[in-house]
Amino acid sequence: MKTVVTGASGHVGINLIRALISKGRQVRALSHLSDKGLEGLKVEYSKGDVGNISSLLDAFEGANIVYHLAAHISLMMDDWPRCSDVNITGTANVVEACRLSRVRRLVHFSSIHALCQEPFSKPVDESRPHVDSTKSPPYDRSKAAGEIIVRKAIEDGLNAIIINPTAVVGPYDYRPSHFGLALLQMAKGKLPVLIEGGFDWVDVRDVVDYAIKAEERAPAGSNYLLSGEWLSVKEVADIVASVMGNKAPSLVCPMSLARACSPLVTLSSRLVGARPIFTTASLNALVSNHHILHDKATRELGYNPRPFRETIADTIQWFKDNGYLNPK
């Protein structure tokens, strides 16, 4: 069975390809800029990007299954053009290429960010409406719009399913991801002040394993929230400190003060060429719903995410083994 993965060199893509290979799948990786993290894996490479439908048609030729992971992940409030190009237009191109190539099934990776978090008094499940406010971060709005495109295609007869993971954490985080970067700073003791708030975190290995189960079992049109465990930033830092055997930061900045300072922090990070961890968009995410349900995935797929402490321990060990952290 030929399986194509867009966004193959991303954090989720690298883990997904490893899981697919372990199941004996023939995998074709669509990569745009880099193949880092895929070295030594038994995969077929196809160069291209989701903005070029001709390259998608080449990549999808003879494919039974397409996993669409390619996305522009952004924590910036002024990043709409790039988010729109990749997450909306790119998704529309993938849908059209699947149709023209007669792909048997599309697995579209959306995000918890595509769904409204409010009201906080009620748990979030698959029935939540999509984000549509222009005040929402560009990433959130673009992922919602991309998911709506896939849903419309499903109504028109496309065999597709949708996966909405929460904040993904785990090994093989080569770049590293935004949260991987924060995790490294915590582990190195370079994050002396924490921010009020938290999020629902999920292990990337659980996400890819159950995405594959959904691809194999779920009826066309199904969608699944794959959540894990809601923890505050302070609780995450405490776990990191416990794993590292050092002391966690004790200072927690109130959200109101963090919001006031975020434009300056973002500007200073850009001036030195660094990726800012705390921006207006990321602070919006930390004011999140504490109850993200995965009941549907548990009921239909047997979904059972692992304890988050195990995820943190495995991720830090991977960072140590690959030179991101001093093993000592």
Contact 50, 93 (CB under 8 A): yes
Domains along the chain with CATH numbers:
2-176+200-230+290-306 (3.40.50.720)
Q: Which two tokens stand for residue 189?
A: 């003791």
Mean pLDDT value across the chain: 93
In a 3-state reduction of DSSP, which class is residue 284? helix
pLDDT of residue 251: 87
Of all residues in the chain, the percent with pLDDT exceeding 90 is: 77
Q: How many other CB atoms are there within 10 angstroms of residue 244's CB atom?
A: 18
**Is it the case that residue 298 has pLDDT exceeding 80?**
yes
Rg of the chain (C-alpha set) = 19
Given pLDDT bands bounded at 50, 70 and 90, which one contains residue 14?
very high
The 10s digit of each residue's pLDDT in 86-105 is 999 999 999 999 999 999 99
**CA angle, corner 15, sides to 10 and 17, nearest 5?**
90
**Is it the case that residue 80 has pLDDT exceeding 90?**
yes
Given pLDDT bands bounded at 50, 70 and 90, which one contains residue 37?
confident
**Is it the case that residue 277 has pLDDT exceeding 90?**
no
Whole-Å CA distances, 172 to 34, 91, 220, 324, 328: 15, 25, 30, 11, 20
Query: Comparing 10 with 249, which gets the higher pLDDT?
Result: 10
Measure the CA–CA gap between 315 and 307, rounded to whole angstroms: 13
The 10s digit of each residue's pLDDT in 208-231 is 999 999 999 999 999 999 999 999
**Is it the case that residue 270 has pLDDT exceeding 70?**
no
In a 3-state reduction of DSSP, which class is residue 85? helix
Q: Which two tokens stand for residue 101?
A: 């190539």
pTM equals: 0.94
Contact 157, 103 (CB under 8 A): no
Number of C-alpha atoms within 13 angstroms, CB side, residue 94? 32
Measure the CA–CA gap between 160 and 98, rounded to whole angstroms: 10
Q: How many other CB atoms are there within 10 angstroms of residue 154's CB atom?
A: 20
Given pLDDT bands bounded at 50, 70 and 90, which one contains residue 269?
low
Measure the CA–CA gap between 169 and 310, rounded to whole angstroms: 11
Contact 7, 73 (CB under 8 A): no
Contact 229, 307 (CB under 8 A): yes
Q: How many other CB atoms are there within 10 angstroms of residue 10's CB atom?
A: 25
The 10s digit of each residue's pLDDT in 43-78 is 999 999 999 999 999 999 999 999 999 999 988 888
Measure the CA–CA gap between 273 and 286, rounded to whole angstroms: 24
pLDDT of residue 319: 97
**Is it the case that residue 205 has pLDDT exceeding 70?**
yes
pLDDT, mean of residues 175-186: 93
Given pLDDT bands bounded at 50, 70 and 90, which one contains residue 31?
confident
Given pLDDT bands bounded at 50, 70 and 90, which one contains residue 272?
low
Measure the CA–CA gap between 116 and 289, rounded to whole angstroms: 9
